[in-house]
Structures are given as structure tokens and as C-alpha cells.
Structure 1
Amino acid sequence: MPDPNSPAESLINDAPKWKLISTRARLNLWNSIPARWRLPSTLKIPDTNLQCVALHSGILTPKQIEVTELTTTELILRVHAASLTAVEITEAFCARAAIAHQLVNCLTEFFPEEAIEAAKALDAEFSRTRILVGPLHGIPIAIKDTWTIKGKRATNGCAAWYDRPPAEEDAPLIQVMRDSGAIIFGRTTMPQTGMALETVSPLWGRTLNPYNINFGSGGSYGGDGALVAMYGAPCAPFIRNPAAFNGLYGIRPTSDRTPRTGMASQTSGQISIKASAGSCCRSMSDIKLLTKLILTHPTVPYEHSCIPGFWNEVPSKSKLAVGVMWTDDVVTPHPPVTRALKEVASRLQAAGHDIIDFKPPIDLWEAAITTWTLYFQNGVDETKAALSSTGEPLIAQFQYNLDAFNVRKHTVAEILESHKKQDAYKASFIKKWNTTANETTTGQPIDCIIAPSAPLAGSPHDFCLWWGYMTIWNLLDYPSTIMPLKDFKIDPVNDARVAGYQPRDNPFDKPNWEIYTPGLWKNQPMTFQIVGRNCRDEELIAASEVIDSVVNKGHTPTYSHGGL
């Protein structure tokens, strides 16, 4: 029996409740990783380019390496041709996911045996019928720790929720994934309660960036972003920022077109700025495949949280009119971000597409204040109540934003005023979009806007970065995609600091500028953002396909197997 007076036992008894829960949670997760997939203690782990570790770990077979580096679309074609089975695909990705977690800490639950049994059932069905169950037949995926999965817990990155009862049913989005043939093998990390662009929590710890362990993997779906970038899954149902910081393709669809029931959140009653469910992949064809599935949600046609599913196929245009938003005039992008956007615009123009400067018609700092007011209309009472029950502290990035935007409880009159501002912003953007269209050389409406994904190509740990390049589209509910610029390299000479820059008077521009040292970012991938209009997601997809064919044609990501 342990001695309650011993130093070790005293430390345990004095530890905050959240630490005890965290220790238990992480031990349970570690025990779920089979011994055959655990990295040898003698293996040398680099600080950068962690994707290559799996190739030299001795855990994966050559075929498993080949399988895990296929896109979702390529995997489906091989399953249909009977050259790969669901079991082969699931075992390969589960093994690589286990490796990924040990390197970057991207999972909260792992149940590979369940996944392999589900894969066996799919293989038996396909062997009998020769018909795929659906568009994701045999594709292994992991789900962010905020969506309810039958029989599993959803912690939302909060220690107080770890011991809540398992969910009694799947969220509609999860049901759609399962009905399409997807195989769920685990849950992925997210920031504490979700509201941060770095995935870190006292409960699960910090998720690392595969390109540089001193950087974060983004948020709030940072576990998904790191997992897909580490080839531990071919795709994930999530959206933009982690795609941006992990060099992937991602999309945030129009929120009212995506099922949202079943998201566990401390602020679930907030519907002024609605959540969305998109996808993250390694190809544009995969983005289209998953987006069409999510927006049509064929097996939950009467889901109340979204409009009835539809998909209007849009043909690709031979000539696009593309607006370029170089800056939001709040936080100036780092030099490589601007250089990358210039490169994209230059390639599009050389390919015959029209490029038009697009200046936001509203003050985006004021829009950000409105955004944070609507995010937390009741202050942060619910979040703080959940954390206080275990003594869990707020993470630094979240606290910084609460202070920067003076987040507090608002009156009904103040909320109504914020809604009026939100409506005015939407009206201004539509008018600007149409006015800009009339100024193009063709006289046709602009098809999309390209803009920075963020003011920087990646975020050092606990840095309180500016969200505005993404949250403005949340406030307006415009769909947007993230796309890698695959052959772009951040260069200390070409991307040197600009001498004499005078930061703007806000809490984000000066820190963003002061932190920039070109060499620190040299290994980070570069992405950019493509924005479309509300509910015209198919048009955005079509434009993104054209842009991808121009800016990434013939280029293979440097993080792929072939580049290592």
C-alpha cells in the first residue's frame, strides 16, 4: 500500500486535479499503441522534416510506405480495381499514424483494432458485390476531439470533460463519413476548448509541426493537420489554418451547407458566426471529393443544422478574374508571404488570367472586434466554469486574445448592434465585389479573391498571432480554400526583413514584425488562400482547380517520399 506520508505520494496528492486527469489520459493513449508500432528508443529524431522518420524507422514495409503516400482519390481507384484492400490501407495508415503521434503528439484516442475489423467487413462486402459502399470506401480517417462518436469520449481539449460518459450516437457528419465507407481509427488533438491557432492544452500537451518542432501545427484542427502532413491519414474532415501551417489543401465551406450537430463545445449556443465542417487533403481532387460529400450529406438529408444538400457542378473557366488582397491593413504579412502571393498572381497573369487589386471595403480591425464580440457574447463564463472545476489554467494564446479584444459579457443592445455591423460588412463586401468586377478587363464578375492564409508561414509556440486573414471570412460566411505553393522556398536573402518598418497601432502588428527572422522559417511550407462568395462553394472549387493547375502544375511537394 502506498505511504501517504512519502514525498512521491505527497506530490500526487497535492497535484491539481487537471494534472492527474492529464497523466491518466496520456497513459491510456500510450497503452493503446501496439508494441509493434512503437519507435525504438535508439532512433535518432531530427528537429525538422519529421516525415522522413517513418521511412527509416523499420516499422513500415515498402508497400505500406507506398500506400500511405497515395492521395484519397488514388486509394479509391486502387480499391475499385481490387489492387488494394481496405485492410491493407487501414493497417498501413494506422501504423504510420502511431509513428506520427509519437513524433508530434497528434492523437487523443487510438483504436486500430476496431478500425481493422471494420475494414475486414468492407472487404467482405466488396468481395461479394464488387460495389464500393461509397466514395470513401476503405479510407481511414481520424476525427477531431470535438465531434461526437458513438461509444467514444469528446473532451474538446478540456480536462474536466475527459471522464464524461461516451457519446450515445455519431454526429451527423460522422454518420455521413461512415456511410460513405470511411473507417475511423482515432481522435485528434485540438487546442483547449478550441479557440486558438495553436493546438496545445494542459490535458493533451502540445502538437508539434512536422517541419519544425519549435512551431505549432495550427488550430483548431491542429492534430488533423499534423497527422495528414505526417502521412498518418490520407485526409481529414477539418478546415483551414492547420492546412496553412502544414502545407496542405484545405477548405472552409459555407457554414449553412454543412452538418454541425454533434460538436461538443463550451460555447455551443453561439450561432452568430457559425462553425463549418470542411476537409484537409493532399490534392485538389481530394478536396472536391470530400467537399461534395459534406455539402450533399446524402445519408442525413433532413439534418436540421444545415440547408438541404445539393451540388451544382460548375465547369472550369479558361480565363479567371482574380482579385488580390495583398494585406488587410491590420497586420502586414511577412516578406515570404507577400512574395509567394506575388508569385501566384504572376503565374496566373502569365497564363492569361486577369489580376485585379482588391482592397477590403471595411476596417478589418473593427470587423475583428465585432467578430470577438459575437464569438463570446456572454464573456467566457462557460469556458472558465469548465476549466475551474479541475483548476486548469487558460492557455496563453487564448488569454492574449481575450485581453486584446476586451472580451466581456455584453448586453442585448450591444449584441444587436454587433449584428447590425455584421450585416453592414456583408453588404459592403458584396458591393465591393461587384464594383471590382466592373473594373476588370473583361467586364465579368471576379471569380475569387486570393489572399494570405495568415500573416506568417507558421507560428512559433505560444505566439499570439493575428487571426484576421481567416476570421473575416467566418464573419461574412464566405467559403475559402487553402492551397500550397509547392515549389516555393523561404529564402533568407529573398525574404529579408524590411528595414525601417513602422508597425501599426494594434496589439498584433508589432509582435508579428518583431518575431520575424527569415532563417527561423526556412523549412516551413508556403500556402495561400482562395475566397469565394457565400453558398457558391462549387464556383470556388472550380476556380481553385484552375489556379492549382497553373501554380502547381508538374510540381511535387518537397515533403513527399520522392523528395526525401
Structure 2
Amino acid sequence: MSSAESWQSIAARAQKSVLDSIPTKWRLPPGTKATRENNARQIIHESGLLTATQLEITELTATDLLQRISKGQLSCMEATEACLARTAIAHQLVNCLVEFMPEEALAKAKELDAEFQKSGKRSPTRSPHPGSTTPPASTDASVVKVMRDAGAIFIARTTMPQTGMALETVSNLWGRTLNAHNPAFGSGGSSGGEAALTALHGTPASPLSTDIGGSIRAPAAFNGLYAMRPTSERCPHLGGKTAAPGNVSIKVSAGPACHSMEDLKLFVHLILTHPTLPYEPTCCIPFWNETPRPSAPLRIGIMLSDGVVDAHPPIQRAIRETAAKLKAAGHDICDFAPPFDFWEAALTTWALYFQTGAREMRAVLAETGEPPIKQFEHNFDVFKTKELTVPELFKRNVEQTAYKVAFQQAWDAAGVDCIVCPCAPAAGVPHDFPLWWGYTTIWNLLDYPSVVVPVKDLDLNPTQDAKDMGYRPRENPFDKANHELYDPELWKGHPVTLQLVGRPYRDEALIAVSEVIDSVVNAPGTASTHL
């Protein structure tokens, strides 16, 4: 790259290279665009570029796909080629890739099929999925190695927002990644490319998303997926790339976005036990306390609002209806009030995110004169992010510990098995809108595991979900804008999800509780009407 080359030139070249890597047989007609009325999934089904068998294969969950492969009913080559084809088409519709690797993926699939023919054995996990979104390192990160050791086939790398710290995936380099359901919305961030691709079934799951502020959960929520942010201290971190290595006050977590609770458990189990890296030094010693689905009634706390930004009407209705269903099923439901000011906690969170005032990130942008995206500048202005002195950093770390103590005491007093709350104050993020992160970042600050569950039978109803015209927003930079944004017609047809929160290190227990809640909320026979 020439030192004088503009970011616009670099971006055009990078975006063209991805499109050029797509074989002609998987190209859509020029000018094909997804719309609200004819969304990306409909176009994929009607394109004629996938056979009926390939459509069937790509609609399978990761668990079902693995079972067919292990029984010899499906080869790795067949599964990989189907996923590659659907991924190529998805990218042309929502712009979700930064690298497409069909030759590498097919070569690996051929190798694994030959191994199966010779030994009759499959690796425990074999599922095509996208890799990370940052430039490739010289060696695999630990979580990548764990997946590769388990037999995963890497087919692509996916998009993320500029700097990674945004709840919409947009950058000057790669452009904007669109929502799988409605192109007027973003795909969420920072793992927006993975979530959009998974929602469009280009891959059965995205098991390697990472989350330090909502980057697994927000994209999953906005695209109608299951997802989990495990306790970060249980996830291997070695080899992960970041603009500010060494900032460990709030640690990144790794987890999946997928289409079923069964898939979620499959990949979380693999990440948290990391069987081929038993002594990975960046996390606690691996363990898995298998927790059966509880048979006794659960005590579930409902946190309808964080006291900073109220969620939009359809999200509140989803939580209320969920509480009613759980109560009717015999579970004990109680209100859970935040034990401290979540706005003050957010100030601590953002100070700990950018202890150097984001000096490293700004230096990267300055290399080519690239302007920051709107969300990046907005949040820096709102939270008055600055470089911390060592005493200031120590003070913020003490605050973080105090919040952990207060929340633990509140949890103990409530005696709950989990908390149900919004994933975000809106069901999706319109382009360039600075959404409040507090419903996800609080669990990063506290390091509580959390699960995203779609509410599959909830259709936004303009009457039931009407805007509250008498609402008086709170005095903060987000609540008024979030309230003014809401229009039931704008969100009509969009998926709605719940966030379930559990105790730190008890990730298995949270999964077991989530299985119960999912079975009540999405009873067998419940079909998603959002795709």
C-alpha cells in the first residue's frame, strides 16, 4: 500500500476483491437489492442459484448438520459447498464478508471426507462457519484453534464496525452490513457480519463471535438469533487481536450466535472446556458442571427497565407476556430493581473501555485520514472519554468492584435463578443511530453470563405496541432520542428477543434455565414469522 493512497481507494479495492472471489455460478443479476417487502432470505430462495438439496442443507441447525455428517448421510463436501454458495449470495445482499475462502474450505472438506472414509470417525464438531473479522494473525487465536481442532471448516471472515466499538456494523473500509430482515436497519455490532450471515443461513452458526460491550448479543438480537456471552474469565483469550492489548479491566468474552438452544450449548461447551488447550493461561482451568434442566419451579426476576432508557413497547410486551407464560407454567415471577444507578455504572464502563482515550484507535484512523463513524464520535462526546492517570484508573477499578458487590447482594436478596431483561432499548438499530448500550454493557462490567432468546411468535402490533405519546423522557443523552425514534410501522415484522442473565461462572446453570424459558416462550410448533 502506498503511503499516499487514500482510504477511499483502499476501500474500493478491498470491497472489489471480495466480490471478485465469488465464482460466477453464485452471482446474482446486477442490481439485485433486498427490500423490506422482498428481503434477503426471500431472494436467496427465489434466486435459482441453490438446488433444493442445498437449500435444505443450509436450513439445518448445526446439531442436525453434524448428526447427518456423522451418520454418513451427508458429506463434508456437500455441506461446505452448500454453505459457500449461500454465503456468496448473502454477501451480495447484505455485505457481510471481508474475505471469502471457497478453495481453502473445499480442500479442507475433501481432506475430512477422506479421513472419514479411512477411519470411519468424525471429529466431535464439524460445521462450516465464518472466522474472525480482523486481519489474519500469523497463528490461530486460542478459540480459533479449539474450533479447528474440533474439525470446523472456515469459509469466510466477516465484517465488523470501524474500531469494533459500535452497535451497527459500518466502516469506511467495508461499507455497511445490512440487517437480514430489513435493509433499512443495521445488522448490529460488532459481530454484525457473522450475525447477518448466520441469520441468512450462510453458516449454521457463528461460534466465534466476541463480546466486550454487546458484540455477540446485539447482532444476534437484531437478527433474531440465539446467542450467549459466557463468563469472560472462562473463555481462552490468547492470540486475540485488539487495538489496545493489555486493557483487562473489562475482558472480552467469546460465544456463539445460532438458530437453536441446542446449538448454543454445543458451542459454549466447546469454548469453555477448550479440550485441546487444557492449560490455556488466560482463563481459569476448564470445567463443565453439567446441569440438567430444572424440574422444580424457577424464581425469575423481571427487569423491565434499567432506569436509564426504557425499551420500546414491543420489547416491554415481549417481557410481560413471557412473565405471564412462565407464571402460568408454575414459575415464581418477581420484579428485579437495579441496585445502583446504571448511568453512573456506564460512566465507569466507558472510562475502563478507553483508558488511553482511544489513542491507539485514533492513530489507526490517522494513518489514511479516515474519518470516524458517527457512533464512535457520539459515544466519546457523551461519555467524555479521556486518557486516565494511574490513580484515576485505580479509582475506576474500585468502582467496578463495588458494583459487583452491590449486584451480588441484590441477587442474593432476591433469590432469583435468572433475570429477564431487554437486549437493547430497540428491536433493531436504524442506520447511524447512536443506540444506548447499557442493557448489554452492564453485564460486561459485572461479568455476568447472558443469553439471547428470540420470541418467535410475537408480531409487532401497531395497536398493542402503540407509542406512548405521554412519555416523559429522562434527563440523559439517550432516552429522549430513543423514544422519538420509535414508530410501530418502522419495526413491523422485525424480530424481538429477550436477554436472560445468570450468575458468574455458572454458565451451565444459565443454559439449563434458558432451556426451560425457551421451551415455555417458544413451545413446540411455534414458528418464526419474521423471516
TM-score, length-scaled by structure 2: 0.96
Deviations 1:216-251 (A, max 9, x none): 000110000100001110000222111110000000
DSSP-derived class of the 2:474 partner: coil
Aligned to 2:291: 314
Question: 1:307 Cα deviation (Å)?
Answer: 1.2
2:253 corresponds, among 268, 276, 286, to 276
Is the counterpart of residue 26 in structure 1 residue 24 in structure 2? no
2:61 touches 2:260 (CA, 8 Å); kept in 1? Answer: yes
DSSP-derived class of the 1:193 partner: coil
1:110 touches 1:187 (CA, 8 Å); kept in 2? Answer: yes
2:430 corresponds, among 460, 470, 481, to 460
1:96 corresponds, among 80, 86, 94, to 86
Deviations 1:499-557 (A, max 9, x none): 21111011000100011111000021000100001111000000001111111012122
Q: How does 1:105-254 map to 2 (within 5 A)?
A: 105-134=95-124, 136-137=125-126, 139-146=127-134, 154=135, 166-236=136-206, 237-238=208-209, 239-254=216-231
Aligned to 1:337: 315
Structure 2: distance between partners of 1:490 and 1:58: 31
Q: Which amino acid aligns with 1:115?
A: A
Q: Which amino acid aligns with 1:309?
A: P
DSSP-derived class of the 1:214 partner: coil
Most deviating of 207-216 and 33-42: 33-42
Is the counterpart of residue 558 in structure 1 residue 523 in structure 2? no
2:374 corresponds, among 373, 386, 396, to 396
Question: 1:144 Cα deviation (Å)?
Answer: 2.7
Deviations 1:108-151 (A, max 9, x none): 000111101100111111122221112x22x10001313xxxxx
Structure 2: distance between partners of 1:35 and 1:514: 45
Aligned to 1:325: 303
Unmatched 5+ stretches in structure 2: 210-215
Question: 1:268 Cα deviation (Å)?
Answer: 2.1
Question: 1:43 Cα deviation (Å)?
Answer: 5.0
**CA 1:174–1:489: 2 relative to 1, 3 Å:** same
Question: 1:52 Cα deviation (Å)?
Answer: 1.2
1:489 corresponds, among 439, 459, 483, to 459
DSSP-derived class of the 1:450 partner: strand
1:313 touches 1:538 (CA, 8 Å); kept in 2? Answer: yes
Is the counterpart of residue 421 in structure 1 residue 399 in structure 2? yes
Question: 1:170 Cα deviation (Å)?
Answer: 0.9
**CA 1:36–1:15: 2 relative to 1, 3 Å:** farther
Aligned to 1:501: 471
**CA 1:35–1:330: 2 relative to 1, 3 Å:** same
DSSP-derived class of the 1:213 partner: coil
Q: Which amino acid aligns with 1:97?
A: T
Structure 2: distance between partners of 1:79 and 1:483: 27
Aligned to 1:36: 25
Deviations 1:8-34 (A, max 9, x none): xxxxx9996211111111111111111
Structure 2: distance between partners of 1:330 and 1:96: 41
2:81 touches 2:106 (CA, 8 Å); kept in 1? Answer: yes
Aligned to 1:357: 335
Aligned to 2:485: 515
Aligned to 1:294: 271
DSSP-derived class of the 2:337 partner: coil
Aligned to 2:213: none
Q: Which amino acid aligns with 2:170?
A: V
1:79 corresponds, among 69, 72, 77, to 69
Question: 1:46 Cα deviation (Å)?
Answer: 2.9
Percent identity of paired positions between Structure 1 and Structure 2: 54
1:144 touches 1:190 (CA, 8 Å); kept in 2? Answer: no
Q: Which amino acid aligns with 2:271?
A: I
DSSP-derived class of the 1:270 partner: coil
Structure 1: distance between partners of 2:332 and 2:325: 11
Q: Which amino acid aligns with 1:55?
A: H
Aligned to 1:434: 412
1:543 corresponds, among 506, 509, 513, to 513
2:449 touches 2:501 (CA, 8 Å); kept in 1? Answer: yes
**CA 1:553–1:15: 2 relative to 1, 3 Å:** farther
Structure 2: distance between partners of 1:274 and 1:517: 36
Aligned to 1:442: none
Q: Which amino acid aligns with 1:143?
A: G
Most deviating of 90-99 and 230-239: 230-239
Structure 2: distance between partners of 1:132 and 1:360: 47
Deviations 1:81-101 (A, max 9, x none): 111111110000110000000
2:459 touches 2:529 (CA, 8 Å); kept in 1? Answer: no
Structure 1 ranges of 4+ moved more than 2 A: 13-16, 41-49
Is the counterpart of residue 376 in structure 1 residue 357 in structure 2? no
Question: 1:47 Cα deviation (Å)?
Answer: 3.1
Structure 2: distance between partners of 1:487 and 1:378: 45
Q: Which amino acid aligns with 2:129?
A: I
Question: 1:492 Cα deviation (Å)?
Answer: 1.1
1:144 touches 1:223 (CA, 8 Å); kept in 2? Answer: no
Aligned to 1:263: 240
Structure 1: distance between partners of 2:304 and 2:389: 36
Aligned residues: 520
Structure 1: distance between partners of 2:487 and 2:255: 33
Structure 2: distance between partners of 1:191 and 1:277: 17
Structure 2: distance between partners of 1:502 and 1:308: 49
1:63 corresponds, among 53, 56, 61, to 53
